[in-house]
Structure 1
Amino acid sequence: MNTMENNALATEVAQLRAIVDGSHMGSWMWNVQTGEVVFNERWAEMFGYTLEELQPVSYATWQKLCLPKDLAISEQALDDYFNGKANKYSTEARVQHKNGGIVWIRDTGLIATYTSEGKPEWMCGGHVDITEFKENRMALAESRERLQKIADNMQGTLYQFVKRPDGNVAFPYASSGIKLIYGVTPEQVKNDATVVFKAIHPDDLARVEQSIEQSYQTLEPWECEYRVIVENQVKWVYGHSTPEREADGTVLWNGLLIDQTERKLLEKRLAQTQSQLEAAQRVAHLGYWQADVNTGEMEWSETLFLILEQDPLRFKPTVHDFLGLVHASDRDKVRRGFEPGYPGHEFDFRVVLRNQEIRWLRQWGLIHQSKSDPHLIRGTLQDITERKELELMLLEQSTRDSLTGLYNRRYFMDFIEKRFSSNRAADQNIFSIISFDFDHFKRVNDNYGHLVGDEVLRVIGRIVFDTIRETEIAARVGGEEFMIYVPGASATEAATLAERLRQKAMKHEFLADQTKFTVTITCGVAERQVTERNFQELLGRADRALYKGKESGRNKVVIAEP
C-alpha cells in the first residue's frame, strides 16, 4: 500500500471515529468465535464507568451489565440474525448503571467478517442511550391511563364529534361511557354517528339537531339537555362542547355528555314536595298567626306552637318573643315584615329551637284591610326544612366531590372560567393555579386495596381543606388529581402554599394491615398571564409544570414558565 493509500485510509478512519464520537454512540466490536470485544470510551461512560475500570473486557462484561431478562432477548435477536431470520441485529435492553440506576439502550450491529468456514467472525455495532425517550413514553402512557380512568369513572362520556360540509357526522373519539348514554360502542359511531340520533327522544330530536346546526354555523359552544331512549328506558342527558372549524369546513366539537337522569328525578321529587307543601298551606292554613304592629301582641294557631316547639299554656307570644326565636342573621328581614305600613310579604328564614336545632320556615303575611283593626297583620308559617335540605343536597351533589368533600371538576372549571373572564377586564388582578397529583398512587391501590386508596384521598383532601384560606378554592378534578385556585397570589406565593401541602402530605402516616406508609405529591404552579386567551391555556401550563416535576424525580413543586 503506497503512502497516498495509507493517508486516505487514515483519513477515512478518522472521519468514522469523528462520526461515532459526535453521535455519542457507544461503539463495540465482538469476535463471535473467541469472545474478544473492543469498546470505545463512550460505551463505558454510558454506564458510569471508565474503560479502564472495566478491564479486562470481554463478551462477559456485557453479560454482567445487562439485565438478565433483556440479555435473553438480546441473545435471541442474535440467534435470529445469525440464522437469517433478520437482516441485522437490533434490540432494546436495560443496563445496570454504576450508581444503581437503569440505562435504556438501543443495540444494533452487523457482521463485518466471516471465518474461512463461513461462520460469523467479527461483528460491529453501537449502543445509543434511549433512557429519556423511554421515560417520556412511559409518562405519556401514564397520562393516557389517567385520562382513561377519568373517562371510565364518570357517569357519561368524553368525546369528539365532527360534522363535515357534506352533512356526515361521526365520533372520531368517544370514551366507553357512550354505551351508557346512547347504547352504542365507540367503534360503532367512529365513522358514522347517525345511529345515536335514532336514540334521541322524538320530542327532543328537532331541538337537538337545531342546537348542533346553530353551533356549526356560529361556532358558539354547544349546550343542550334532552332525553334519549335506550333499551326502552328514558334517560336525561346533558351535553356541552366547544367547536372549532377546520380548513375544509369540517367542525370538530370537544366535550362531554353526562347522564342527568338521577338529578332530574330529584328535581321532580323536589317540585312535587314543594307543590304539596304549598297546597297544604293554602288549603289548611297551617301555622296561622296574627300580629298587632302597635302593641306587638300575637296570636298563634295550635300548629304554629307545635312547629316552634312552644307550650301554649306557658308561652304568650309577642312579636318581640317571636323575633327572639329567629336566627340572628335573618332577624332584620323578619322584623321589617312587622313594621307599620310594610306591604304584604313572603320570605324564608331560620329559627333556632330550644334544643338549638335550626329549622327553615316560609312566612306569608298580609295587612288586614279593616277599618276596625287597621294595625293587624295576618299570615301563615310553613316548615320547609325538608325542602331546603333537599335543595342543599342537590347543590352539594352538583358541586362537591362525594369522596373528599372538596369541589368537583365541573364546579372548578366553571369557577375558573368565570374568574378568567372577569379578570381579563381588570388585568391588574392576578391569581395562580396549583395542580397536583399523587406519585405512584397505583401502588397504594395495588398494595393495600382501593378502600385504603380512598381513605388516602379523603385524608389528603382534608389536609388541603384545612390548609387553604377561605378565599381559595380547592377541587378534586380527577382520580388522584387536585387543583387549587389562589387569588391575589403570584406563582412564587402560590408555590409556597404548594410546598406546605407537599410537606404535610409527605409527613402524614397512613396505616393499613399493621403497616405504616406515606405518600408524596408533585405540584405544578402557574400564574395567570394577561396574554392568555382562555383558562385552558393557564391550566395547561400548570399541568405541564406538574409533569416536569414528575419527570425530574417527583415529590416537588415546579413553577410553570410564563
Structure 2
Amino acid sequence: MGHFAFICCLVSGLWVNIAAYVYRQRVMLQFMDHEKQLVNLEQLANSVPGALYQLERSPDGQLKFNYVSQGVEAIFGCSAESLANDVTLLSEIIHPDDLQSVLSSMHNSARYQYLWVKEYRVIKNGRVSWIYGHAVTSQQADGSTLWNGQMLDITERKMLELKVEENQRNLMLAERVAGLGHWQLDLETGQSLWSDTMYNLHGLDKAKVTPSLALTIERTHPEDRQAVTEAINAVKQSGARDVEHRIMLGDGEIRWLRRSGIYRIDEAGREIIFGTTQDITDYKELELKLRETGGNDEHTGFYNRRLMLQSLQRRFSLYQAHSEHQYYIMVVRVANNAETLKIVSKIVRQNIQDYDTPGCLGKGIIVVLMSTLSAEQNKNCLKATRQLLEQHEIEHKIALECAQITDLRFDDVLLRALI
C-alpha cells in the first residue's frame, strides 16, 4: 500500500511538472507571438506616409507621447525616442505664430470630442515646413484624453496653394486697378461665374445676386441689349467676340463696358464662354469731349481727318491683336461742298448713337465708327440714313462695312465701302 502511494505521488508530481512546463511554453509562445505582432505593427507604422502617434493628456493637463513612429524624424527633425522622453520639445518645434492655435484646437477637440484636424508650421533644421495633423479624440475612464492620429508633411502642396492664393490676390488687385473683371458663361444653363470685380462693375452685392446671362441682359441698357445678345450668339460661330455696351446701375448711373469672350468646350462637353469685362466709361466720355471740342471739321462738326484716322487706327490695332475686337464703319460719300456736308452731317447725327464716332476725311467722305457690334442695329441705322438722304434728293453713296480677318490695314475696310 505504501509503495502504491509513493508511485502515485511520483506520477502526480510528474504531471504537475509537465503541466507547469506546458504552461511556461504556452506563455513563451504567446509572448513571442505578441512580440512578433508588435514588430509587424511597428513595421506597418513606419511604412505609412508621415508619422503615427498616440498623445495622452492626463487629468492634470500633462502631455506625453505613449507612441510615436519613426517617421516623425522626417517631419519634426527629432527622433521618436527624444520626443517620447520630452514632449516639451513640441514648443520649440511648432512655429511660435502657430503654437497657441494648435494648443487651442486640441483643447476644443478634447472638450467637444470631435476629430482634430489642423494645418500648422514647424521649424525643422532652421527651415519652415507645413504639417497636416489629424487625430481621433477619445476620453478615458480616468479622465485622461487620448489623440490617436497621423502627421503629414504638406510643405510642397501648401507652397503651391499659397502661390495660387497670392496670384489670385494679385489678379484681384490688378482687376480693381484696371477696372477689369473675368467671367465664364455656361451656354446651356445660362449660369455664370464672376470674379469679385464683376460685381463692382455692375454695382451689385455679391451676397444678394446669382450671376447669369439673364442678369447681364437685365443690367444692360435697353438700346444695347440686342447687340449683347447677338455677340453672345455669334461667339459660338467665330470662336471669339468683343462688344461695347452700356449698363444701368441702381442709382441711374450709366457705365460703358467692353466685353471680350472666347468659346470653348470643356472636359465635360459643356459649351462655355470665357471672357473679360472692362470699364471703358472714361474712354467713351473722353471721345465725346473730343468730339465736342477742338479737332472737329468746320463743315460737319465731326472729327477732322487727323482725329478720325487716329480713332480708326486704334480700333484696327485692337482688331489685329485680338480678332474678337471687331468693328463696323458706315461710310457716306457726297458732293464735296459746304452746304451739302452740313445737311448730310445733320442727317447722320440724327440716326447714330451718342457714342458712335463720326468723322470727315475730306473730299465729301464721312465715316462713322459704330459703337455697337450689332449687325442688325447698324443696318437699321444705314437704312434710316439712306432714306433721309433720298428725301433730300442728295446724290450719295452709302455703305456699311465690318473688319475682316484678311484686312492688312484699316484702309482695306474703307476701300471696300467706297468701291
TM superposition score normalised by structure 1: 0.43
Judge conservation of contact 1:157–1:257 (CA < 8 Å) in 2. yes
For 1:279 and 1:271, the matched residues in 2 are separated by 11
- Structure-2 residue corresponding to 1:97: 124
CA contact (8 A) 1:113 1:123 kept: no
Following superposition, the deviation at residue 93 of structure 1 comes to 3.2
The aligned runs of 1:145-164 (5 Å cut-off) are 145-164=169-188
Contact 2:248 2:255 in 1 (8 A): yes
Please, what is the CA RMSD of the aligned residues?
Answer: 4.2
1:42 partner amino acid: G
Change over 3 Å in CA distance of 1:247–1:23 after alignment to 2: closer
Once the two structures are superposed, residues 44-81 of structure 1 have per-residue CA deviations (whole angstroms, 9 ceiling, x without a partner) of 342334567x4893222223322345333333344344
Task: Find the residue that maps to 2:272 and give its secondary structure.
Answer: strand
Please say if residues 171 and 186 of structure 1, whose CA atoms lie closer than 8 Å, have aligned partners that are also in contact. Answer: no
Partner Cα distance (2:227, 2:300) in 1: 34
Amino acid at match of 1:18: Q
User: Residue in 2 aligned with 1:255?
Assistant: 275
Residue 162 (structure 2) aligns with: 138
Q: Distance in 2 between matches of 1:88 and 1:189?
A: 35
The offset of 1:144, in angstroms, is: 1.4
Equivalent in the alignment of 1:222: 241
Q: Contact between 1:162 and 1:251, CA under 8 Å: does it hold in 2?
A: yes
What secondary structure, in the 3-state scheme, does the structure 2 residue paired with 1:148 have? helix
Whole-angstrom distance in 2 between the partners of 1:51 and 1:246: 49
Give the one of 41, 54, 58 matched to 1:16. Answer: 41
CA spacing shift, 1:144–1:9, aligned 2, 3 Å: same
Distance 1:31 1:198 in 2: 61
Of 264, 267, 278, the residue aligned with 1:244 is 264
**Higher relative contact order by CA 8 Å / sep ≥ 6: 1 or 2?**
2
Amino acid at match of 1:240: S
Residues 26 and 233 (structure 1), Cα distance of their counterparts in 2 relative to 1, 3 Å cut: closer
- Decide whether aligned partners of structure 1 residues 48 and 119 sit closer, same or farther in structure 2, where only a CA change above 3 A counts: same
Give the percent of matched residue pairs that are identical in Structure 1 and Structure 2.
15
Deviation at 1:17, TM superposition (A): 1.7
Deviation at 1:132, TM superposition (A): 2.2
Change (3 A) 1:86 1:73: farther
Structure 1 letter corresponding to 2:143: K
**8 Å CA contact 1:171, 1:192 repeated in 2:** yes
User: In structure 1, how many angstroms separate the alpha carbons of the residues matched to 2:209 and 2:279?
Assistant: 19
The question of whether the paired residues in 2 share the 8 Å contact of 1:243 and 1:253 is answered with: yes
Q: Contact 1:160–1:252 (CA<8 Å) still a contact in 2?
A: yes
Matches within 5 A, 1:316-465: 391=310, 415=321
1:60 aligns to 2:88 (yes or no): yes
- Change in Cα spacing, 1:219 to 1:63, as seen in structure 2 (3 Å) is same
CA shift in 2, pair 1:46/1:160, >3 Å:
same
Cα separation, partners in 2 of 1:192 and 1:22, compared to 1, 3 Å = same
The structure with more radius of gyration: 2
**Rounded Cα–Cα distance in structure 2 between residues aligned with 1:61 and 1:48:** 11
Matched with 2:103 is 75
TM-score scaled by length of structure 2: 0.55
**After the TM superposition, which residues 177-188 of structure 1 pair with which residues of structure 2 at under 5 Å, given as runs?**
177-180=198-201, 182-186=202-206
SS in 1 for 2:133: strand
User: 1:224 aligns to what SS in structure 2?
Assistant: strand
State the SS of the aligned residue for 2:234: helix
Superimposed CA distance per residue, residues 377-397 of structure 1 (whole angstroms, 9 cap, x where no aligned partner): xxxxxxx7xx59x949x96xx
Of 192, 203, 218 in structure 2, the residue corresponding to residue 171 of structure 1 is: 192
Change (3 A) 1:163 1:41: closer
Q: In structure 1, what residue type is equivalent to 2:124?
A: H
Counterpart CA distance in 2 for 1:234 and 1:88 is 53
Q: Partners in 2 of 1:121 and 1:279 — Cα distance?
A: 89
Q: Secondary structure at the match of 1:176?
A: helix
Distance 1:58 1:138 in 2: 33
After superposition, what is the alpha-carbon deviation per residue over 1:111-142, rounded to whole angstroms, capped at 9, x for unaligned? Answer: 7995xx72328765443222223222211211
2:286 to 253, 259, 266: 266
CA displacement 1:152-199 (0-9 Å, x = unmatched) = 2223432222332xxx5333224334443x443455553544243234
SS of 1:184's partner is coil
Question: 1 or 2, which has the higher helix percentage?
Answer: 2
1:2 CA displacement = 4.2
Report the Cα offset of residue 242 of structure 1.
0.6
Partner residue, 1:43 = 72
Question: C-alpha separation between the residues in 1 aligned to 2:242 and 2:208?
Answer: 24
What's the offset of the Cα at 1:243?
A: 1.6
Whole-angstrom CA distance in 2 between matches of 1:2 and 1:131: 47
Secondary structure at the residue paired with 1:276? coil
Distance 2:278 2:221 in 1: 16
Residue 224 (structure 1) shift: 1.8
Give the gaps of 5 or more residues in structure 2: 1-25, 324-419
SS in 2 for 1:204: helix
Secondary structure, counterpart of 1:159 in structure 2:
strand
Provide Cα deviations, 1:194-252, integer angstroms capped at 9, x if missing partner.
24323433333223322322334x25312222333444444433221012246888532
Q: Aligned pair in 2 of structure 1 residues 270, 57: CA closer, same or farther (>3 Å)? A: same
SS at match of 2:197: coil
- Decide whether the 8 Å contact of 1:220 with 1:242 is kept in 2: yes
Deviation at 1:261, TM superposition (A): 3.1
* Matches of 2:195 and 2:124, distance apart in 1: 43
**Could you say if the C-alpha distance between residues 35 and 215 of structure 1 is closer, same or farther in structure 2, counting changes exceeding 3 Å?**
closer
Q: Could you tell me whether the CA contact under 8 Å between 2:130 and 2:155 is conserved in 1?
A: yes
User: 2:263 and 2:223 mapped to 1: Cα distance?
Assistant: 25
